[in-house]
Amino acid sequence: MLSKKLAAASWSDRIFDLVVYAAITVVTIATLYPFLNVLAISFNDSTDSIKGGITVYPRVFTVKNYETIFAYSGLMTGLKISVLRTIIGTILGLVSASMLAFTLSRVDFQARRFVSTFLALTMYVSGGLIPVYILIKNLDMMGTFGVYVLPGLVSAFNVFVIRSFIDGLPYALQESAKLDGANDFTIYWRVILPLTKPALATIALFLAVGQWNAWFDTYLYNGSKEGLTTLQFELMKVIQSTTTNADNFRGRNMTEVMAQISPESVKMAITIVVTVPILVVYPFLQRYFVKGMTLGSVKS
Amino acid sequence: MKAITVKVKPEPKKPASRFWPTFLQQKYLYMMALPFVLWAFVFNYLPLWGWTMAFQKYKPGKSFFEQKWVGLQYFRELFHDEQFFNALRNTLAMSLMGLLAGFIIPIVFAVLLNELRLMFLKRFVQTVSYLPHFVSWVVAAGIITKMLSTDNGAVNDLLMSLHLISEPIQFMAKGNLFWGIVTASDVWKETGWNTIIYLAAISGIGPELYEAARVDGASRLQQVRNITLPGIRTTVIILLIMSIGHLISIGFEKQFLLGNNLVRDYSQTLDLYALNYGLGLGRFSFGTAINIFNSVVSVILLFVANGIFKKITKESII
């Protein structure tokens, strides 16, 4: 009570509060406005949009822009591939990270030091763009779906986040399972995995976002492979083709044609389609990833 | 429970001879770890072997032993290329700007958020601030380009209505603005996300410290200066060292997506340079030399930074 009175009495504290709220308001608007603006334009009649002046709500409401983009088959293929790589990539990434994390959490595992060091080094060592490109080429993975999933399968950061979570579980659980005759794999599958759900949810979000947002691997390896391009890549082509002169793109097909005829509103509609899946998911997982981020940073 | 703990008590060690029995006993652990270790070997370590390309006149399709060794030829070529120094300058400039802004602004934002008394507002602002982190750079670049455009871009509109400028600025066509645009974009996208760790660190500070300070009559600003900021010092230092380690290898996505031919002199980073002049032209050996240069400098930076901080603060991450 006393402290509250003191705080309220101080004049400088009121100015301080004012500055805090003003700054927070500016930041919030600066973050949110661009998204609302894009959303509004995407729902606005495209010829009307050219006149400008649209802020956070559409002036002449229409869903025609969305009809236009969904009429292109390239977009649907992109959507399919993006969804597929997100699902498969997330599941495989979760399996690999959690298995490795489990073995590393076992103090009695005799290869623990080796595996741990071997993985940790991958966070600092990388061959670089061209050696990786040559490797993928030599492995005959160009133009395959595999390049979306396999090269980035094992991520040391994810492993360490999950491991520090497992470290927090009582070891007695594993011991009693062992007494019941469970082998190490069964312990992982039946005991550890169900208890690790919060950490897994965090990592699943990281993996899914990473997969959904990736475009560079498509550009590098699958850009000219019709039927394997992703949504982000298609969006990239449409957006880039108006800022540059559509010079150095590998794909030819519909996106370029579309870029020439696509007005601002259609571009914004694609942007929204690419963004919405993540928009829907992340607020619900916020509790988990905040925890996961802090855990991961402390450990690594 | 007691009986169990007795059972797993480690027996006295007999080194070497215990390896195979333990190995067999832990076969499931090995089966769960080794395939992924192999995986990491192929995709993370094998490319390092590819560094030999920089010292060869690499021709695709030939085996390693058939390649012609050329020594440091490609490095000499690299150091004689004007574009290389241009790319190096751009990489360092944008990395340093990104480091400075991306480091200070999240701390300020975390402190500001922490001072919000209304919980629901704090939650709302936090949720909003994470949003840009979750969209791809493709989307972000599209949005940023739209916001900065000369016809009806929000930034130009705002500046015009405030009468700060008399006609729209062509933001995306001015090379000297490019570094600033990239830095600002990064701040817009990642500030909220980078705040998470600092907020966690702040919430770890004991409330009794604030209570004591208030009784002593400290103003809110003084509390921030004398309690909050010292309280997150360790976190700040560790994160600073880590970001310095990545200084030179900070990606090129933003530069690739936001850049265009008009601003190329300011947008081309070392990685983009490797992409355009190594991969794009099929000069694999030359491109690999750029990659190696990039990695070596980044490791040196990490050790130097860590060494300096170890001396000053007795904190270390390596």
CA distances for B43 relative to A133, A155, A249, B270, angstroms: 11, 11, 27, 22
Q: Identify whether B95 is part of a domain.
A: yes
Please give the Cα distance from A217 to A133 (Å, whole number): 10
Q: Identify whether B48 is part of a domain.
A: no
Which of B4, B13, B24, B32 is the best substitution to test chain A (most A C-beta atoms within 10 A)? B32
Please give the Cα distance from A167 to A174 (Å, whole number): 12
pLDDT score recorded for residue A300: 40
Out of A40-49, A112-121, A123-132, B262-271, pick the least confident: A123-132
B43 touches chain A (CB under 8 A): yes
Q: Identify whether B68 is part of a domain.
A: no
Which whole number is the average pLDDT over A23-39? 94
Residue A231 has pLDDT above 50, yes or no: yes
Q: Identify whether B29 is part of a domain.
A: no
B98 touches chain A (CB under 8 A): no
Residue B13 has pLDDT above 60, yes or no: no
What is the CATH code for A67-286? 1.10.3720.10
B40 touches chain A (CB under 8 A): yes
pLDDT score recorded for residue B11: 55
Q: Identify whether B20 is part of a domain.
A: no
pLDDT-based confidence at A212, cuts 50/70/90?
very high
Q: What is the DSSP letter of B13?
A: P
Domain that holds residue B249: 74-313
CATH of the domain at B96: 1.10.3720.10
Contact A17 B115 (CB under 8 A): yes
Q: What average pLDDT does chain B have?
A: 85
Torsional sign, CA A62, A68, A71, A75: negative
Q: What is the DSSP letter of A110?
A: T
Nearest CA in chain A to B285: A130
The tally of domains found in chain B comes to: 1
pLDDT-based confidence at B206, cuts 50/70/90?
confident
Q: Tens digits of per-residue pLDDT, B109-154?
A: 999 999 998 889 999 999 999 999 999 999 999 999 989 988 788 8
B4 touches chain A (CB under 8 A): yes
Nearest CA-CA distance, residue B14 and chain A, Å: 14
Assign residue A52 a region: left if phi > 0, alpha if psi is -120 to 50, beta otherwise? left
Residue A56 has pLDDT above 70, yes or no: yes
Measure the CA angle with vertex B16, ends B11 and B19; round to 5°.
75
Partners of residue B68 on adjacent β-strands: B57
Count other C-beta atoms under 10 Å from residue B100's C-beta: 11
Task: State residue A16 phi and psi, 5-degree precision.
Answer: -55, -50
Residues 6+ apart with CB under 8 A from A162: A97, A98, A101, A196, A199, A200, A203
Q: Identify whether B64 is part of a domain.
A: no
Please give the Cα distance from A223 to B265 (Å, whole number): 26
Interface list for B 173-192 with A (CB within 8 A): 188, 191-192
A142 touches chain B (CB under 8 A): no
pLDDT score recorded for residue B84: 92
Which of A52, A131, A293 lies closest to B197 in CB terms? A293
Q: Tens digits of per-residue pLDDT, A163-178?
A: 988 998 888 888 889 8
Complex ipTM more than 0.95, yes or no = no
pLDDT score recorded for residue B16: 58
Q: Identify whether B258 is part of a domain.
A: yes
Out of A108-122, A225-239, A252-266, B271-285, pick the least confident: A252-266
Q: What residue segments make up the domains of chain A, in order of their start? A: 2-62, 67-286
Interface list for B 189-248 with A (CB within 8 A): 191-192, 196-197, 200, 211, 214-215, 217, 219-221, 235, 239, 245
pTM for this one? 0.86
Strand, coil or helix: what is A20?
helix
pLDDT score recorded for residue A13: 84
pLDDT-based confidence at A233, cuts 50/70/90?
very high
Which whole number is the average pLDDT over A257-266? 64
pLDDT score recorded for residue B280: 87
Specify which of A94-108, A123-137, A257-271, B299-313 reaches the highest per-range mean pLDDT.
A94-108
pLDDT-based confidence at A255, cuts 50/70/90?
low
